[in-house]
Structure 1
Amino acid sequence: MISFSSDYTKGAHPNILQRLAETNFEQNTGYGTDRHCEAAAEKIRKACGLDDAQIFFLVGGTQTNQTIIDMVLGPYEGVVAATTGHIAAHEAGAIEFSGHKVLTIDCHGEETDTAKYGDNIGKISATALTELLERFYGDDNHEHMVFPGAVYISHPTEYGTLYTKRELNDISAVCRQYQIPLFLDGARLGYGLMSRRTDVTIQDIAGAVDVFYIGGTKVGAMFGEAVVFTHKDAVKHPIPIIKQHGALLAKGWLLGVQFDTLFTDDLYFEISRNAIDMAELVKEGLVKKGYKMFLDSPTNQQFVIMDNEKLKEFDGKVGYGFWEKYDDTHTVIRFATDWATTKEDVEKLMELL
């Protein structure tokens, strides 16, 4: 069976496996204090154009989202996110479990001739964010309510859509006006940065947000996410908070080795571009075969409307991601490419379609 169900179904890039093997018998200090983590952090600082960024490494996306949000919020504060945001829809209430409410903003796109939704699905806007904050502080009872203490966005979004540089800066301006941190989930950041339709660079993100993370689990690493606080000493004592969340890896150098490798010779960006190239081939093939796209995604996630009877033919032949019910006879599914997807993989998928 061939699988396009997600972008973390494969192991790790061969360069990472080689480096892990080469360093396997080294003796390193624990908890991210080793030379590999420091080397990776320096390369990430250089890529982001941040000399003093505070960087540490965690294992997975949900763990990272929960830990960061708990770091930046007070006990009476919640985090603002799109209704379709990962922390609001797909993390089993992990944020609420840590004691913080997710305050949602609707994020509907507009229907077009070729797709159900346009470029705005999955994104929050500066206007909607301002309205939420004005409504909160305009309520005379707001001292008795959950304060909006941070803003969460992801790039790409759950629907594979992207923020423009202007949109990102507009949201950032609102956050700075209200003195609340802006947090960008970058689980698929490489695929957003390498999209053919983006004007956002990693330096742009570093300049607009207070904290973001560079996803490795879905972009070539065996596991791992690199957290970047863009301001020096943004978190006074991060290690105790990370440890309280069970997120402090004793063998932290395993994360350092991986990100050091990914940020050597632009490997992270090169393998991310491959996913975009393959996703464009998938989209082109689907359209040529007469399938209707659910939306026009510019990243590695492609959403298509499939007849339910056709889906039965996929059983045991192709893996895909269920997205949502479209109507009584059709379902929206997702095909996700990744850093290692090949043209042969795409050709096999087209044969099955």
Structure 2
Amino acid sequence: MYSFKNDYSEGAHPRILNALLETNLVQDEGYGEDRYSKEAMELIKEKIRNHDVDIHFISGGTQTNLIAISAFLRPHEAAIAVSSGHILGHETGAIEATGHKILSVEGKDGKLSPADLQGVLDGHPDEHMVKPKLVYISNSTEIGSIYSKSELQELHDFCQRNQLILYMDGARLGSALCSEENDLHLSDLPNLVDAFYIGGTKNGALIGEALVICRDSLKEDFRYHIKQKGALLAKGRLMGIQFFELFRDNLFFDLATHANQMAGRIKDELEKAEVKFLTHSPSNQIFPILPNAVITELQSNYAFHVWEKVDSDSSAIRLVTSWATSEEEVISFIEELKRELI
């Protein structure tokens, strides 16, 4: 049984494991004050070409989202998210549990636009309702789409005019930035969003996300928030070592590029077989629509999510490739799927 369910089924890239082993018996400070974490932070600042940001390493995406959003918002303020947003559907009410409402809008292709945001602002005019304050987006999105630079610039400008915080979930930021359709650079992000994180868990690390806080007003006392939420790891070096290894050369981008290429290989072959897709997703997540009978047969040898029922006879499945997905497994999957489609 080979899994296309997610991009974190494997452990970590061998270089990361080697780096952890080589530094294993070296003593250093705890709670992210170690030399490795500090070196990784400086390296990321160089990559994004901005040394005025604050960087914090947090173990996972849900933890990062809940700590950041709850820290950035006052008690009466709310977040805005597209209906397919991760914080809305797949984080067990983590944001709401901190006392902050999530205002959901339909959006398009998993993305938000200024028109969507204006509708929310118009619908919350006074103190009898929660105050929309933070705009949550993800890149790539929950359905594999990506934001263009112009789309992100429009959101940024709207948020600036309306005193909104623009926050980007970057669990699959590597995949977005390495997409063939992408025109964004990592160094663009500090100028376009107020905070974002660089996902390591889904791009070759064992654990870890690097939260980058760009707006000065959001930086104060942030380590207090991390500690209070139970996320200030005593052995914070474990994440620092991993992010240093990911960014000391192009490993982070090489791994994301490989994941995209494997997904693209499957997508290209399915398009040749005239298979339709639920969404346009130029990243490492694709959503082909298949007959239910074919899906049942594929599940004998492959694991994946059945994402959405399309009609009585067919459904969309989600296939996710990773930094470790082998070309041999991709070819085997394509061949079996083609046989089932005949």
TM over 0.5: yes
Aligned pairs for 1:67-86 (under 5 A) are 67-86=67-86
TM-score (normalizing by structure 1): 0.93
CA distance in 2 between partners of 1:38 and 1:152 (Å): 28
Partners of 1:58 and 1:226 within 8 A in 2: yes
Counterpart of 2:140 in structure 1 is 156
Give the counterpart letter for 2:121 in structure 1: L
Distance 2:176 2:276 in 1: 23
The Cα shift of 1:314 comes to 2.1
Task: Indicate which of 188, 204, 212 corresponds to 1:204.
Answer: 188
1:293 paired with 2:277, answer yes
**Does residue 262 of the first structure (1) align with residue 246 of the second (2)?**
yes
Residue 296 of structure 1, CA deviation: 2.1
Note the C-alpha offset of 1:43: 0.8
The reply to whether residue 243 of structure 1 matches residue 227 of structure 2 is: yes
Which among 149, 156, 159 is matched to residue 172 of structure 1? 156
Among residues 105, 112, 120, which one is paired with 1:132 in the alignment? 120
Is 1:193 the counterpart of 2:181? The answer is no
* Contact 1:76-1:147 within 8 A present in 2 as well: yes
Structure 2 counterpart of 1:122? 110
What is the Cα deviation at residue 245 of structure 1? 1.3
Answer yes or no: is 1:13 the counterpart of 2:13: yes
User: Which residue is equivalent to 1:43?
Assistant: 43
Q: Which amino acid aligns with 1:276?
A: N
1:234 corresponding residue in structure 2: 218
Secondary structure, aligned partner of 1:332:
strand
The SS at the match of 1:292 is coil
Instruction: Find the aligned partners of 1:107 and 1:151 in 2 and give their Cα distance.
Output: 13
TM-superposed deviation, 1:135: 3.4
2:16 aligned with 1:28, yes or no? no
- CA shift, 1:203, in A, is 1.5
Give 1:60's aligned residue: 60
SS of 2:26 mapped into structure 1:
coil
Residue correspondence of structure 1 range 259-338 to structure 2 within 5 A? 259-338=243-322
Distance 1:128 1:163 in 2: 15
Match of 1:146 among 114, 126, 130: 130
Deviation at 1:233, TM superposition (A): 6.4
Tell me the SS of whatever aligns to 1:206.
Answer: helix
Contact 1:54 1:233 (8 Å CA) reproduced? no
Could you tell me which residue of structure 1 aligns to residue 340 of structure 2?
Answer: none
Q: Distance in 1 between matches of 2:78 and 2:26?
A: 43
User: Does the 8 Å CA contact 2:124/2:130 hold for their aligned counterparts?
Assistant: no
1:315 to partner: Cα distance: 2.9
Determine if the alignment matches structure 1 residue 343 to structure 2 residue 327: yes
Q: Where do 5+ consecutive residues of structure 1 fail to align?
A: 109-120
Contact residue 275 and residue 337 of structure 1 kept, 8 A: yes
SS of match in other structure, 1:136: coil
The 2-side partners of 1:316 and 1:12 are apart by: 27
| 1:116 aligned residue | none
CA distance in 2, matches of 1:26, 1:43: 21
Give distance in 2, aligned partners of 1:176 and 1:292.
39
Query: Share of identical aligned residues, percent?
Result: 44
The separation in 2 between residues aligned to 1:31 and 1:318, in whole angstroms, is 40
Q: Secondary structure at the match of 2:80?
A: strand
What letter corresponds to residue 58 of structure 1 in structure 2?
Answer: I
Measure the CA separation in 1 of the matches of 2:110 and 2:317. Answer: 16
1:228-277 deviation line (CA, Å, top 9, x unaligned): 00134632111221122111111000000000000011110111111111
Aligned AA for 1:44? I
Residues 60 and 209, structure 2, Cα contact 8 Å, conserved in 1: yes
Would you say how many aligned residue pairs link Structure 1 and Structure 2? Answer: 337
Q: What secondary structure does 2:318 align onto?
A: strand
TM-score by length of 2: 0.96
Deviations 1:201-234 (A, max 9, x none): 1122221000000000000100100000013463
- 1:334 match: secondary structure: strand
Task: Give, in whole Å, the separation in 2 of the partners of 1:126 and 1:232.
Answer: 24
Instruction: Show CA shifts across 1:118-160 (max 9, x none).
Output: xxx10010122123223323xxxx2121111211000011111
What CA distance in whole angstroms lies between the structure 2 residues aligned with 1:40 and 1:103? Answer: 35
Aligned to 1:114: none
Tell me which amino acid in the other structure corresponds to 1:52: D
1:79 is paired with a residue of what secondary structure?
Answer: strand
